[in-house]
Structure 1
Amino acid sequence: MSDFLTRLKAFEGKTLVPATWGPDAVNTPMIRHWVETMGDTNPIYLDEAAAKATGRPGVVAPAMMLQVWTMKTFAEKMAANAAAESGAGTGEPSVAEQLQAVLDEAGFTSVVATDSDQEIVRELRPGDVVSTTEVVESISDEKKTGLGTGHFVTTLRTYRDADDEVVGTQRWRLLRFKPTEAAASTEAAAPAPERALRPRPALNQDNLFWFEAAKEHRLVIQRCTSCGTLRHPTGPMCGQCQSLDWDTVDASGRGVVYSFVVNHHPKIDAFDYPLVVAVIELEEGTRLIANMTHVQPDEVTIGMPVELDWIDADPELTLPAFRPAAGESI
């Protein structure tokens, strides 16, 4: 084993994030925001009677919200960013900073998230408080990928309740890599650096079909073949009847702006700013998050009729976007 790999392996088992409690207890308003935005109509999240009819003691939080309850607040994130920019800190680098420094020194400066696996031990209910810890589970030997050579860093986040009982885990994997030599030499020969690629989606067996359809300029919606319920985001099980059988239908491409934000910063080279990111409610009833095109930020309004557009970001990535519907006055 090389000295460098030995240094990397020494981080296995170390704690990246000590036990950190979420800023708020599990609560109904946040659950409501989540399910309305996601278009998840399963009544067990908001209706006590419906939840009890399934044998539960009451309403529960969606399983996919597990990470939400421990996320930092906006003020905490801004304070952390300000401290990092000013160089303020405790003086002793954290384990995460030490690991990053070792990888950076060896040239593994690029990063992409490859996958995230969650295991739910029990459903959370309003009033639960949740903490998380994150430990480095493993660091791979050097691997050659399409992006370049690098190391996969796998961490395990463990979520616990007030009784210190595990309620769920999340295995998170990143690839820290050096860009391929061909890409690096091309960039060096170019008169100006090429624009960065859009962030890559984390592809898995539950969503690959959706992105493959997008490459063909087809916006598809997953449909339960047992009860006919449409759902998005994609997933392995129907929230209505719990069936694992599904197919897809092609969306009409028409919808309305359900909600939107205008991003100004932090700026990422792959995007143009100001950047309009909207929740689009399709006429089929499902919602998805997409960019707005052919419209100025101050012209976007809630309820605006929109139609499908496409962003061919690069040969490997095509994403749906939406523009004002033909004839819409802006």
Structure 2
Amino acid sequence: MYARLRAYEGSPAAVGGRGGDPVNAPMIRHWCEATGHPVPPDGSAPATMLQVWTMAGLAGEGGRSGPYDELLRTLDEAGCTSVVATDCEQEYARPLRPGEEVTFDAVIESVSPRKTTKLGTGYFVTTRMDIRADGEPAGTHRFRILKYAPAQRTSAKPEKKTGTGAEARRPRPVVNRDNAGFWEGVARHQLLIQRCDACAALRFPWLPGCNACGSQDWSTVAASGSGTVFSYVVMHHPPFPAFDPPYAVALVELAEGVRVLGGVTGVPYDKVRIGMAAELEFRRVDKELELPFFRVREEAEAEAEAEEEAEGEG
């Protein structure tokens, strides 16, 4: 079976694909508004929009060709009828500017040996898309899916496992060349923010280039750790090993102005509110992994502590 699947490696997944619209200012503006970043001063598209211009939407799959469909059908026939997107990687050659026409070709880059995961057993399929703007290389997009046969559940109600016990491990973060420095900071109990060397704009999460000016030169600053809860969500389901719902996850606006997601400590999950003071802390969630969390406090409590500190200094 694996030999049959590997025969598809190198086959086209899309040939002569063309973006549904030229790169355009309205789409760039909508994207920037949705992500909370300013439109670059030169009006170019943020690099992270690379995939947007190639998506076919509800109308169809653009230039997608036969071999990719055949590969997916072969996996379906082998019982791998479920699919989940696992990760993607992007490389940027140059900014995309309004008015440029986007074209692309894609290839089936690799099919993994059969893998067993908690979702089920199947194969990872990676496609690579080479994207051009007005005929010039603009970037590369690698997209990976898992086509799998769903695992058989042994019972209708799986045994519940608690949050940080030795019996369960948290999922590991995906560390790559673009974010390795962030995780090195976490290991030192630092929350590192990128700072553009060209325009000094701060950004988080980590990205290869600046959202404001497009520069790829950057350094880092360590966050003070103080902030406020900008938004939050309470997770009630699904039950998952190493997590014990319900629990709260907050989007914290740091004093530096960037926003960071993190687990919440300090108050019960149903007491978290927007505007609460938050302070960074690092917690060991299993024997091998520490993660940034935020200890939140009610505003009155935070103000009282600040007054006590001020009086002590006086």
TM-score by length of 2: 0.61
| 2:90 equivalent in structure 1 | 117
Aligned counterpart for 2:261 among listed residues 289, 295, 298: 289
Residue 301 (1) aligns with residue 273 (2): yes
* Residue 170 in structure 1 maps to residue 167 in structure 2: no
The equivalent residue for 1:147 is none
Asked if residue 5 in structure 1 is aligned to residue 2 in structure 2, the reply is yes
Alpha-carbon shift at residue 132 of structure 1 (Å): 9.3
Which residue is 1:26 aligned to? 27
Distance, in Å, in 2 between the alignment partners of 1:137 and 1:263 is: 36
Q: What residue is the counterpart of 2:236 in the other structure?
A: 264
Which amino acid is the alignment partner of residue 263 of structure 1?
M
* CA distance in structure 2 between the aligned counterparts of 1:11 and 1:211, rounded to whole angstroms: 36
Cα distance between partner residues in 2 of 1:9 and 1:277: 41
How far apart, CA to CA, are the structure 2 residues paired with 1:234 and 1:215?
16
What is the deviation of 1:64? 0.8
Report deviation, 1:279.
1.9
Please tell me the residue identity of whatever aligns with 1:10: A
The worse-fitting range, judged by mean Cα deviation, of 114-123 and 128-137 is 128-137
2:99 is equivalent to residue 99 of structure 1: no
- Structure 1 contact 305–328 (Cα < 8 Å) conserved: no
TM-score, length of structure 1 as denominator length:
0.59
1:119 Cα deviation after fit = 4.1
Q: Secondary structure at the match of 1:198?
A: coil
User: Could you say what secondary structure the match of 2:275 adopts?
Assistant: coil
2:176 pairs with one of 200, 204, 223? 204
In the other structure, the counterpart of 2:203 is 231
User: Does residue 1:215 correspond to 2:187, yes or no?
Assistant: yes
Query: What's the % identity of the aligned pairs?
Result: 38
- Give the equivalent residue in structure 2 for 1:252: 224
Q: Unaligned 5+ residue runs, structure 2? A: 21-25, 59-68, 116-121, 149-158, 303-314
CA distance in 2, matches of 1:121, 1:269: 42
CA apart distance, 1:211 = 0.7
Matches of 2:270 and 2:142 in 1, distance apart?
40
1:33 is displaced (CA, Å) by 1.9
CA distance in 1, matches of 2:260, 2:109: 33
- More off after superposition, 317-326 vs 224-233: 224-233
Measured against aligned partners, the alpha-carbon deviations of 1:38-59 in whole angstroms (never above 9, x if no partner) come to xx34x42xxxxx43xxxxxxx4
Q: For the structure 1 residues 235 and 160, does the alpha-carbon distance in structure 2 shift closer, same or farther, using more than 3 Å as the test?
A: closer
Q: How many residues are aligned here?
A: 266
Structure 2 CA distance for aligned equivalents of residues 324 and 304 of structure 1: 6
SS in structure 2 at match of 1:252: coil
- Output the aligned Cα RMSD: 4.9
The answer to whether the Cα contact below 8 Å between 1:292 and 1:323 also exists between their aligned partners in 2 is yes
Mapped contact 2:267–2:297 kept (Cα < 8 A): no
> Which of 282, 292, 300 matches 1:320?
292
Q: 3-state DSSP class of the match of 1:289?
A: strand
Task: Give the drift of 1:325.
Answer: 3.5
TM-superposed CA distance for 1:306, in Å, is: 0.7
Aligned mates of 2:173, 2:77 — CA distance in 1:
26
**TM alignment of 1:47-196, pairs within 5 A:** 50-51=41-42, 59-67=43-51, 70=55, 95-96=71-72, 98-99=74-75, 113=86, 116-119=89-92, 123=96, 136-139=108-111, 153-157=125-129, 169-173=140-144, 196=168
